[in-house]
Structure 1
Amino acid sequence: MNGLDARMRAAQDAGDGPALIALYHEAALTAASDVARGFYLTHAFVHALEAGDARAVDLRAELHAMGRI
């Protein structure tokens, strides 16, 4: 498990929604493929929506630009 995975698991275990948004977005930025990038962005977007976080707007725009929404 790499450091990002460990931080994601810790944030998930702690129920830290804001951290999960940031971590999934970080994972998207470093993803090896568009499929993986879309997966991570989708998770970041869902967590942002659940939290009512303003980052949802930008995440949606990124997904839209990828043709995912």
Structure 2
Amino acid sequence: MAEKKKTASGGRFVDLKRKKKAYWRLARRFDEEENQRTERRKKMARWRLARQYDEEEEVLLGAGSSV
């Protein structure tokens, strides 16, 4: 069996470092997913608003031409 390399802190520091890296990797991935969701929401809201304005414009134009 390979002998475990001992550090002054008994290897705890190395484990902590590994945990921190894993944590930040997960956090970064979560942030990216959250940003994508936010962007999608913004696009949908813009699209909905534009469609609403188009419908209102059509109603106004339709009312104006029939008068």
Q: One fold, TM greater than 0.5?
A: no
TM-score, normalised to structure 1, is 0.29
RCO comparison, higher one (Cα < 8 Å, 6+): 1
TM-score, normalised to structure 2, is 0.30
